[in-house]
Amino acid sequence: MSYGDPAKYITQLYVSEECQQDPYTQEIMQRSRLPVTVIGDRQHPVVAGAYPGNLSQGKHYLLLCRNRGQFFKPCPATREYTCCEYQVLNIGMGCPMDCVYCILQAYLNNPWISFFVNIQDLFAELDAAFAADPQTFLRIGTGEFTDSLALDSLTRFSPLLVDYMRDKENAVLELKSKSVVIDNLEGLDHGGRTLVAWSLNSPPIMEQEEIRTASLEERLAAAVRCADWGYRLAFHFDPIIWHEGWQEGYRATIRQLFRTVPADRIAWISLGALRYLPALRNIAAERFPQSRFFYEEFVEGLDGKARYFRSQRVEMYQLIADELARFAHPRTCIYFCMESENIWQEVFGSTPSEQGGLRAMLDRSVR
């Protein structure tokens, strides 16, 4: 059964004292109708138990606070693999959904969710970035440390971002989600500068390993609505997971995708096999003892992350790439997230370098 809006998992708001009087904070507090606890600027919600055992509880708590660091920076990719040179816009940390493989479990060490309310600073930083380098085309995403839309019914931040991006001719914003909280995107003058993206997986993975996320049918129906509103779309098969029946599973998802969504609206589709920081395996084993996929064999990649053997990755990529090639629009850029040029060559028969680089390939698909 569908969980619905993941924001309803939040049961308690915490507000950092220094933000309490901000109109935006007040707006979120009133809209949420949740109990509010105001805490000191350097304090945080107290969640019983130790991390990561207390993550399930911590995901009930949303802290509205200032971001004291940078909002906007290049994706923390590693040099060893071909990277798409994405720009990360950090709107908050943590997520009310709960995927077994979520890298944030190992990457963050706070069990609660944060949303940064000093959005004037965020927009000022974006203004400075655009002014400093008006020639470089930027692909910007908010879905690196949180889900782009999971809290949008509380924050209504997406319309502000979409409106900001509307006239940025040298950039696009990608809102990436596993929820279908898209009502705030309806009727906006987005100028074609925002893409709405969903992560997709094989049906058993979506059903069993992605807790409180939308079903495949819901994600695709939401994508169709966004396409009707003029947004371009993107999809991410990431992480691709080796499991019994993976061939039929990924084939079924791809066929349902192209039966439902207009192919010519899809700007890009990424593929990335499961890779994880070693610490994640123990965290997931503790939190989700029924999940089995971490018990496959893995090797350590050049970035220190565990990955499937190359032969296994190629086998999975080959099947998925072949299936996508049958249905995808010729303009849609199908690419690997963090793979070597050897894998590109083996699966696609060409490398990004031969096509001007991955960055240029992606930029071309939306320019």
Q: Is 148 exposed, middle or buried (0-12, 13-18, 19+ CB in 10 A)?
A: buried
Q: Looking at beta carbons only, is 143 or 352 nearer to ligand SF4?
A: 143
Q: Quick one: 104 or 252, whose CB is closer to ligand SF4?
A: 104
State the amino acid at position 242 in one-letter form.
W
Backbone angles phi, psi at 339, to 5 degrees: -130, 165
Q: Cβ of residue 274: shortest distance to ligand SF4, in angstroms?
A: 12
CA angle (19, 21, 27) in 5-degree steps:
95
**Which of 29-37, 48-56, 97-105, 247-255 is the region at the interface with ligand SF4 (rule: CB under 6 A)?**
97-105
- The nearer residue to ligand SF4, 99 or 138, going by C-beta atoms, is 99
Does residue 174 belong to the site contacting ligand SF4 (CB under 6 A)? no
Per-residue contact track with ligand SF4, 128 to 147, x per CB under 6 A?
A: ------------------xx
Minimum distance of ligand SF4 from residue 97's CB (angstroms): 4
Alpha helix stretches (DSSP H) within the chain: 23-32, 55-58, 104-107, 119-132, 152-155, 158-165, 203-209, 216-228, 246-260, 278-287, 310-327, 341-348, 358-366
Instruction: Name the token pair of 40.
Output: 């000191």
Among the listed residues 19, 102, 226, 358, the single contact to ligand SF4 using CB under 6 A: 102
Does position 200 interact with ligand SF4 (CB under 6 A)? The reply is no
243 within 8 A of 202, measured Cβ to Cβ = yes
**Site for ligand SF4 contains 236 (CB under 6 A):** no
* Cβ 284 to ligand SF4 shortest distance, Å: 11
* Cis amide linkage into residue 289, ω under 30° from 0: no
- Whether the CA torsion 44, 48, 53, 59 is positive or negative: it is negative
- Report helix, strand or coil for 108: coil
Instruction: Kindly state whether residue 95 participates in binding ligand SF4, applying the rule CB under 6 A.
Output: yes
- Is residue 104 a contact point for ligand SF4 (CB under 6 A)? yes
Q: How many residues bind ligand SF4 (CB under 6 A)?
A: 10
91 binds ligand SF4 (CB under 6 A): no
Does the protein bind ligand SF4 through residue 277 (CB under 6 A)? no
What crossing angle do the helices spanning 158-165 and 119-132 adopt, rounded to 10°?
Answer: 20
Is 234 a binder of ligand SF4 (CB under 6 A)?
no
- Residue choice 5, 22, 85, 98 for contact with ligand SF4 (CB under 6 A): 98
Q: List Cα–Cα distances, 163 to 173, 185, 198, 267, 343, in angstroms.
A: 11, 10, 21, 20, 39
Interaction between residue 314 and ligand SF4 (CB under 6 A): no
Could you say whether residue 75 binds ligand SF4 (CB under 6 A)?
A: no
Q: Which among 66-74, 94-102, 304-312, 316-324 is the span making contact with ligand SF4, rule CB under 6 A?
A: 94-102
- Binding footprint of ligand SF4 on the chain (CB under 6 A): 95, 97-99, 102, 104, 146-147, 178, 213
